[in-house]
Amino acid sequence: MNIASIRRRFVINHFLYVFYLALVRTKLGLRTIDVFAAKHSKILSILSYFSVFLGFLGMAFISFDIVRGLYNIVFANAAPTVSVVLPFEVRGAFYVPFAYWFISIILVMIVHEFSHGIFARLCSVRIKSTGLAFAGAIVPIIPGAFVDIDEKQLMKKSVFQQLSVFSAGPFANFVFAALFFVILLGLIPVVDVFYQPNGVRIIEVVKSSPAEITGLSVGDVITNIDGKTIKSSDDFSAAFDGKIKWNEININGKNIILSERNNKPFLGVVVEQDYYLTKDSLFAPIIRWLKELIFWIFALNLGVGAFNLLPLGPLDGGRMMHVLLCNYFSNKHVHRVMVTVNTFLFAVLGTTIVYSFM
């Protein structure tokens, strides 16, 4: 392999000398995409209508949701609805354990990108290459995948065909989210055979909150509130029904004076369900691990699919909106609308994310 060939396969784009995006181009999967698109062309053609419809429906929903989320942050002091998902704990980011995060992200990206490729081939659009992508700062952090579609060919296709290709990625993510949700529902009873609820474990304590002042800390398991046994997260939430600011509550023998946030009683902890093992078995931890993995595959497919439908320039939703507007308005008006929408949504997203880190 000569140097020119290597350069075509490996592309690295630097930003501010620290951040970078590395692309590794391959031909892997091209034959599989062609065969799948040809073999299932009839059902894919039908699904394309659902894909486009769901794409615009999801675009409206996610756009409204992030604007509503920022409104609630400003006027109701609510928690942010959007945050960065990372495999390490950082204030303001949504933490997912590394193994779950890595496997889920790889699967999400493959499903998303290959679906774009399959629907492109359904429309007889050439795929130049497939490959892996890594974004990072000094070291690779975020893995991904891509399918390089011939954009010139795609732009010559009908409006509906272009929309079907752009909406295919999020649509596939939603389908896989639904599939893994069904699998998750089937695994829960199996896990319950080996594990039973054992209160709630504290995974985060808010600084200067009543919980921190009283001495509750990360890792503590709450099993009793005001003399009532706490077995599940629902029991924990129900224990605060009817409570108001300055009410005293007894948690595991400690008396705590509640404060208030968002017009609700505020303790200042984030909790997760704790369990105890009822049957000692080699398969118990494996099944529980699989249950957690399937949950994150479901959640990240849903989240990535929805986020990609935002009508922002480079995202699938942005490209769908651009194609649709170009069919009805002049390029000048389309440009104005896209700049306005992009500026507004970037401001909303940026403010929300900054607030989450604060």
Longest dimension (CA), the chain: 74
Counting the structural domains of the chain, the total is: 2
201 & 97 share domain: no
270 & 228 share domain: yes
3-state secondary structure (DSSP) of residue 204: strand
Q: How many CA atoms lie within 13 A of 113 on its CB side?
A: 22
82 & 207 share domain: no
CATH code at position 258: 2.30.42.10
DSSP string, 114-161: HHHHHHHHHTT--EEEEEEEEEEESEEEEEEEEEEE-HHHHHTS-HHH
Number of DSSP helices (H) and strands (E) in the chain, helices first: 11, 15
**CB contact at 8 A, 231 and 198:** yes
**Distance between alpha carbon 54 and the CA centroid of its chain, in Å?**
17
103 & 14 share domain: yes
Helices 331-357 and 316-326: crossing angle, nearest 10°?
160
34 & 169 share domain: yes
Residue 34 lies in a domain: yes
pLDDT tens readout for residues 218-269: 889 999 999 999 988 889 989 988 888 888 999 998 999 999 877 788 898 8
pLDDT tens readout for residues 288-331: 899 999 999 999 999 999 999 999 888 999 999 999 999 999 98
201 & 217 share domain: yes
Residue 353 lies in a domain: no
pLDDT computed for residue 162 by the predictor: 97
221 & 252 share domain: yes
Q: Is the pTM of this model over 0.85?
A: no
Q: What pairing do the DSSP bridges indicate for beta strands 224-225 and 195-205?
A: unpaired
pLDDT computed for residue 133 by the predictor: 76
151 & 261 share domain: no
181 & 41 share domain: yes
279 & 147 share domain: no
3-state secondary structure (DSSP) of residue 288: helix
Cα R_g (the chain), whole angstroms: 24
In a structure prediction context, what are the per-residue pLDDT tens digits for the chain, which is 358 residues long? Answer: 444 454 566 666 666 555 666 778 888 889 999 999 999 999 999 999 999 999 999 999 999 999 998 888 888 767 677 777 777 777 667 778 889 998 998 899 999 999 999 999 999 999 999 987 776 655 555 677 789 999 999 999 999 999 999 999 999 999 999 999 999 999 988 888 888 888 999 988 888 889 989 889 888 999 999 999 998 888 998 998 888 888 899 999 899 999 987 778 889 888 888 888 777 777 888 888 999 999 999 999 999 999 999 998 889 999 999 999 999 999 899 999 999 999 999 999 888 888 777 6
Q: What percent of the chain has pLDDT over 90?
A: 51
Of 114, 151, 123, residue with least CA distance to 48: 123
| Residue given tokens 């031909």 in the structure block | 27
137 & 184 share domain: yes
Residue 339 lies in a domain: no
Range of 203's domain?
Answer: 195-283
